[in-house]
């Protein structure tokens, strides 16, 4: 098998998916294509739940879904395993590495030694590739890193068995069989990814998911200053900005990444409409950036009045409308 | 966002990595650009850490007053919630809540204390003799 090539990407799961598939000869796959085929874009605000004492908001689909869906759409057979016993998990990993297989691993970042302390929260849905072993160090391709890195047996075991929400339980996954992928299959995978994303953004019942979820958050924001006080309200806004803009998102809450996908899809599907909707999605991303700036004015203490919170909320209402329009137009396209 | 507008602000990413951003190039096509950080989100992260420090010093005060056990301090210091601490110790959440009370904490056996100490990456001695 050929030498493994490290790719840096915006988002870790896209990166692992893309790099593992490319390693298996799927040379056309890019990060935006993996993201789009996996219907990666999403929005959800889970009520009554807190993450690091702030609102539980996500701009992307659930962890693991992108790899699973993209591989399935391309008829790639996948092996995945979770473990109770860390030693057993390490034995299995060693076996695969000895066979020259490159594997994806879900890890927690709290104990990840090459991450700076500022980024080490108990976040358990990070993904990286183990592509070899030298002495007692595992060679690691972490998609957010510019270069490859390495981890000792103890370090890797520790992050693979991080505890808390979404505990990885040694989760390991890799493609086992990749056939010839036809242009027709690629087109079908794109169409399916778009349809599923339309469903997720437009059709989920209730008010907390998809484009309606963005309005839900806007309503919450209007009440935060009164309910939580300016300091706590500012921290809540800070949490939204971090979920939206921190490393791993590609900027604008994954919206730019999705716009890049639509642009690539327009060429492959030979559909001008997709290129036009890509522009709308870019606009949504730009608006998310504007809202992050407005929110930062509040948690910096520069903006303190109710009208400043309302301005954030108004922007979110506008974003929801822009994204609704984009997905309604996408839903109308006949592939 | 245009490629030329990608912020290159100082942030905690320094000496770690630069991040990939999806941006429009001069021809209006999507491209990637590396960023060293963005001030708007740097402040969000800084504020989150200030809040952690505030919670940790609150925990110290609680312990001084005799209203909480050292477990509360280390929980805050290690950014843990009950789910995370329960995961690392194997102790049920409702028991952990009880162990946050100074009297319940004093009665803990060394084997239970060891589970907490391991989760916090400290020694049993440090946990037992924590001075707020």
Q: Do B30 and A252 touch (CB under 8 A)?
A: no
Locate the domains of chain A by residue range.
12-177, 183-332
Residues of A in contact with B23 (CB under 8 A): 251, 256
Residue A133: phi and psi, rounded to 5, are -145, 135
**What is the rounded average pLDDT of the residues B56-80?**
97
Q: Do B23 and A251 touch (CB under 8 A)?
A: yes
Q: Do B43 and A296 touch (CB under 8 A)?
A: yes
Look up residue A315 and give its two tokens.
């922007």
**What is the rounded average pLDDT of the residues A49-57?**
91
Residue of A nearest to B47 (CA): A235
Residues of B in contact with A245 (CB under 8 A): 38, 40-41
| Nearest CB neighbour to A256, from listed B22, B38, B48 | B22
Is the pLDDT at B124 greater than 80? The verdict is yes
Residue of B nearest to A239 (CA): B44
* Confidence band for A1, pLDDT divided at 50, 70 and 90: low
Best of B8, B14, B17 to substitute, by most chain A Cβ atoms within 10 angstroms, is: B17
Considering chain A, what is the average pLDDT of its residues? Answer: 97
Best of A124, A251, A280 to substitute, by most chain B Cβ atoms within 10 angstroms, is: A251
* Confidence band for A53, pLDDT divided at 50, 70 and 90: confident
Are the CB atoms for A130 and A140 separated by under 8 Å? yes
pLDDT digits (tens, 9 = 90+) for A72-87: 999 999 999 999 999 9
Could you confirm whether domain A12-177 is CATH 3.90.70.10?
yes
pLDDT digits (tens, 9 = 90+) for A298-334: 999 999 999 999 999 999 999 999 999 999 999 999 9
**What is the rounded average pLDDT of the residues A175-180?**
95
Can you tell me whether residue B20 is helix, strand or coil? strand
Helix (H), strand (E) counts: chain B: 7, 2
| Nearest CB neighbour to A10, from listed B20, B24, B43 | B20
Of the given ranges (A50-54, A57-61, B3-7, B104-108), which has the lowest mean pLDDT? A50-54
Whether chain B has a CB inside 8 Å of the CB on A157: the answer is no
Whether chain B has a CB inside 8 Å of the CB on A323: the answer is no
Place of tokens 């929801």: A320
Is the pLDDT at A198 greater than 80? The verdict is yes
Residues of A in contact with B75 (CB under 8 A): none
Best of A12, A60, A122 to substitute, by most chain B Cβ atoms within 10 angstroms, is: A122
Residue A294 has a pLDDT of 98
**What is the rounded average pLDDT of the residues B58-64?**
97
Instruction: Give the A:B interface size as CB pairs under 8 Å.
Output: 121
Domains and CATH numbers, chain B: 3-37 (no CATH), 41-128 (1.10.260)
* Confidence band for A99, pLDDT divided at 50, 70 and 90: very high
Q: Do A252 and B51 touch (CB under 8 A)?
A: no
Considering chain B, what is the average pLDDT of its residues? Answer: 96
Q: Do A299 and B34 touch (CB under 8 A)?
A: no
Residues of B in contact with A110 (CB under 8 A): 79
For residue B22, give the nearest of A245, A146, A316, A280 by alpha carbon.
A245
Q: Which residues contact A187 (CB under 8 A, 6 or more apart)?
A: A268, A269, A335
Name residues 196-225 of chain A within 8 A of B (Cβ): none
Rounded CA separation A126/A144 (Å): 10
Residue B132 has a pLDDT of 83
- Secondary structure string (H, E, C) spanning chain A: CCCCCCCCCCCHHHHHHHHHHHHCCCCCCCHHHHHHHCCCEEEEEEEEEEECCEEEEEEECCCCHHHHHHHHHCCCEEEEECCCCHHHHHHHHHHHHHCCCCEEEEECCCCCCCCCHHHCCCCCCEEEEEEEEECCEEEEECCCCCCCEEEEHHHHHHHHCCCCCCCCCCCEEEEEECCCCCHHHHHHHHHHHHHHHHHHHHCCCCCCECHHHHHHHHHHHHHHHHHHHHHHHHHHHHHHHHHHHCCCCCCHHHHHHHHHHHHHHHHHHCCHHHHHHHHHHHHHHHHHHHHHHHHHHHHCCCCCCHHHHHHHHHHHHHHHHHHHHHHHHHHHCCC
Whether chain B has a CB inside 8 Å of the CB on A9: the answer is yes
């Amino acid at each position: 098998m050929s030498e493994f090539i490290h790719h840096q990407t915006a988002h870790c799961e896209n990166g692992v998916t893309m790099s593992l598939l490319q390693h298996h000869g799927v040379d056309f796959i890019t990060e935006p294509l993996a993201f789009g085929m996996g219907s990666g874009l999403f929005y959800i605000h889970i009520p009554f739940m807190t993450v690091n004492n702030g609102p539980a908001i996500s701009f992307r689909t659930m962890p693991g879904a992108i790899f699973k869906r993209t591989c399935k759409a391309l008829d790639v057979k996948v092996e995945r395993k979770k473990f109770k016993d860390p030693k057993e998990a390490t034995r299995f990993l060693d076996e695969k590495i000895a066979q020259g297989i490159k594997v994806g691993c879900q890890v927690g970042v709290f104990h990840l030694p090459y991450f700076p302390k500022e980024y080490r929260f108990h976040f358990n849905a990070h993904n990286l590739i183990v592509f070899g072993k030298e002495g007692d160090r595992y060679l690691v391709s972490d998609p957010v890193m510019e270069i490859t890195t390495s981890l000792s047996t103890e370090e890797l075991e520790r992050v693979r068995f991080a505890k808390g929400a979404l505990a990885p339980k040694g989760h390991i996954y890799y493609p086992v069989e990749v056939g010839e992928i036809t242009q027709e299959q690629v087109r079908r995978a794109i169409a399916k990814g778009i349809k599923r994303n339309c469903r997720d953004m437009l059709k989920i019942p209730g008010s907390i998911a998809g484009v309606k979820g963005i309005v839900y958050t806007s309503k919450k924001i209007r009440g935060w200053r009164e309910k939580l006080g300016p300091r706590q309200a500012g921290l809540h806004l800070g949490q939204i900005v971090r979920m939206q803009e921190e490393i791993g998102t590609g900027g604008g809450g994954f919206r730019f990444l999705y716009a890049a996908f639509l642009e690539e899809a327009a060429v492959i599907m030979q559909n001008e409409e997709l290129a036009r909707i890509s522009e709308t999605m870019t606009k949504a991303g730009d608006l998310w950036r504007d809202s992050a700036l407005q929110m930062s004015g509040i948690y910096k203490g520069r903006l303190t009045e109710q009208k400043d919170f309302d301005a954030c909320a108004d922007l979110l209402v506008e974003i929801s409308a822009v994204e609704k329009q984009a997905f309604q137009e996408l839903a109308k396209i006949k592939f | 966002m245009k490629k030329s507008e990608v912020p290159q602000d100082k942030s905690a990413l320094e000496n770690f990595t630069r991040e990939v951003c999806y941006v429009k190039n001069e021809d209006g096509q999507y491209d990637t650009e590396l960023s060293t950080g963005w001030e708007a989100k740097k402040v969000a992260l800084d504020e989150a850490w200030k809040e952690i420090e505030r919670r940790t010093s609150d925990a110290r005060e609680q312990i001084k007053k005799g209203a909480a056990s050292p477990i509360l301090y280390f929980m805050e210091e290690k950014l843990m919630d009950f789910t995370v601490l329960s995961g690392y110790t194997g102790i049920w959440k409702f028991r952990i809540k009880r162990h946050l009370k100074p009297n319940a904490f004093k009665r803990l056996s060394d084997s239970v204390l060891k589970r907490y100490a391991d989760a916090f990456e400290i020694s049993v001695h440090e946990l037992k003799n924590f001075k707020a």
